Structure 1
């Protein structure tokens, strides 16, 4: 668990005992007034940030998000579209003249395009199912994305037709797959996710992967636009050997798929360097343990010369991004309850760039937070502390201070009394190891009084 992503649980504890007369109690209904920033995407020139502004719909009892733009100096804060549909996955074109994104309604999700100079917006796709992993080609003439193609479930018996007007029980759900349900998601419709490409000006999508496998996760183009790199588990027994994914390349024109890794363990998140010579990716040698440290690897573009470059950092690597000179990578990692952004050179030198990345979930104490980097090294990130969820913040090159440029909850939290959060360490009664935790005191806490005590345990790593 992380200090900033514990916001939801700590926040709920904070308002229960509020007694300060100068500020109102934080009520249950105030949760519907909370907002937070997610998926900040900085423009290539470092001038603008587009982010997803998430708020709660009290009528539908769910979160929904729309896209907003803000200058990196905090000015010109504006909504991208006039729609109230769910908008996500903002992705700048290589030159920053366009922005592709996904907009969803009850009828489905489609890809939209925003033209910066004209402020025009248009739907450019007509898809049967929702797209994901939206990625521009280097020349800005194509878009790649993933999409799940449904597959009919197996039929073990043909049911008779029911009489007109009869009300029978629902048809039984039949599956022949091991992985058919997920925590927090429920039943997963049968089907397989594939990679598609389409013209950036709009047009018919074309599938470039084949086979009954899940081709999901991030996509990365070669600089000449001829290949796309991705991660997938294309082994025959992929449902049972579910951790054993590899890095693949697929030809955009000839659709030829080639594996670049082959070791036992997950290889994920390929990212081609700007100069086209190297591929960075995340993985580990699988020792069949509940928790294993994810390491950062690099290899030549043809799959040769694989090596770990994060050996000196005893923390799991996530969310990698090359710097513009192909001399190193940015990444996120967790350290003692705090999510951070770091930079690592190709010889393994790690520099911490920023603390307090997170705050993009207020439901469960899980990891969250995201960032992006412009060509000049300006970082846009979600910044959070226990007393507020994620805001957009900027870290300029060579600067040591992160500057918050949004204040989405100022009108609410400035007038609510919240509890103090204190970090604590204690010894395990089993093996005397140090264990980290946090205590949230009631607002207006008086040490001479007794209060009800609530505790939340959350596990891992084991």
Structure 2
């Protein structure tokens, strides 16, 4: 069972038990007497050093320590700490391959979280800010992973290998929706149960799912022979609705008839989307009142719902929707997502599991 975080008290008990066992165990090495050992903890490993490294007994003692610590610390993970201020995650190729970066909401203090030779991309914050989901090909095939906000404790969501990309969190933090490119479908994974369910087909190169704030619907891109359409699926009934095309749209296969990256507003009344070469647009939930707001792509709403992150030419901007003012945040990045602890309804407890936090939010 994949858990977002281990139980903190259990973790402390395991560590204390290991140290107690170590303190109560005495080793007398024949002829050489008692060797002088120095050992410390390095993440989940015991590092042991001895002044008599070449004796068989020293090696046996080192093996004993390693096995004991592995048994007592099984399941210990790096504690996930919720950011104390607003943070933005994004993808950047500044190092020659896709990496996940984090920065402050004003664009300062950019930091590489993944530092991996694979392509990591499409990062999204969990509702509580305790985790970041993203896709990566670090195991040979692009798949969905989760990590802590500091880049540690990276783990794959599902066991079986498949081509999955562009994750989006359910509002309660229990599930992830994403595109499975093997059959071009929108799938939902239960994080704790590690199960997968296909809920809709996108046809070729569709997808880019986003979960509605109330958790009842998912908006995504469906590909038709001549254009891309924006669809909404009701997760309870399975029914799909196709939003109408914007007015004055060009004929099929003419530049501009392709839509990408739909994103629900925080209140669920508005959908932002990218219209190929024509920029970012807003429309209501019925697909009406289509309005262009700026040239750019990959919209992501601010936690307060009054601003949008977007990118153009691999530069990330923040747009104030009411005033139209834009601010450059990063000169080398795209696909940003925003988290602000100030918007959480309850002060998050770092010891809570994602599933427990979801239950809190429903009360």
The number of residues matched between the two structures is: 250
Cα gap change, 1:55/1:302 in structure 2, threshold over 3 Å: closer, same or farther?
A: closer
**1:298 Cα shift?**
2.4
Structure 2 equivalent of residue 252 of structure 1: 235
Partners of 1:233 and 1:331 lie apart in 2 by: 23
- Cα RMSD, aligned residues only: 3.8
Structure 1 equivalent of residue 300 of structure 2: 321
Q: Is the helix fraction higher in 1 or 2?
A: 2
Cα gap change, 1:297/1:353 in structure 2, threshold over 3 Å: closer, same or farther?
A: same
Structure 2 equivalent of residue 131 of structure 1: 164
Cα pair 1:330 1:344 within 8 Å, conserved: no
**1:125 Cα shift?**
0.7
Structure 1 equivalent of residue 212 of structure 2: 222
**Looking at both structures, which has the greater relative contact order when contacts are Cα pairs under 8 Å and sequence separation is at least 6?**
1
**1:255 Cα shift?**
2.5
Structure 1: tracts of 5 or more residues without a match: 1-42, 57-62, 150-191, 285-292, 361-368, 378-462
**1:65 Cα shift?**
4.6
**1:204 Cα shift?**
1.9
Structure 2 equivalent of residue 350 of structure 1: 324
Cα pair 1:331 1:342 within 8 Å, conserved: yes
Partners of 2:157 and 2:113 lie apart in 1 by: 20
Partners of 1:260 and 1:48 lie apart in 2 by: 33
Partners of 1:262 and 1:54 lie apart in 2 by: 34
Deviation readout 1:195-240 (Å, 9 max, x if unpaired): 11011225121111137x2252532111111110012223xxx0xx
Structure 2: tracts of 5 or more residues without a match: 1-81, 250-256, 343-363
Cα gap change, 1:306/1:113 in structure 2, threshold over 3 Å: closer, same or farther?
A: same
**1:271 Cα shift?**
1.3
Matches of residues 328-367 of structure 1 in structure 2 within 5 Å? 328-333=307-312, 341-345=317-321, 349-354=323-328, 357-359=330-332
> With structure 1 as the length reference, what TM-score do the two structures score?
0.46
**1:350 Cα shift?**
1.8
Structure 2 equivalent of residue 277 of structure 1: 269
The equivalent position to 1:301 in structure 2, one of 279, 285, 289, is 285
Partners of 1:330 and 1:124 lie apart in 2 by: 27
Cα pair 1:229 1:270 within 8 Å, conserved: yes
Partners of 2:286 and 2:142 lie apart in 1 by: 35
Tell me if 1:203 matches 2:177. no
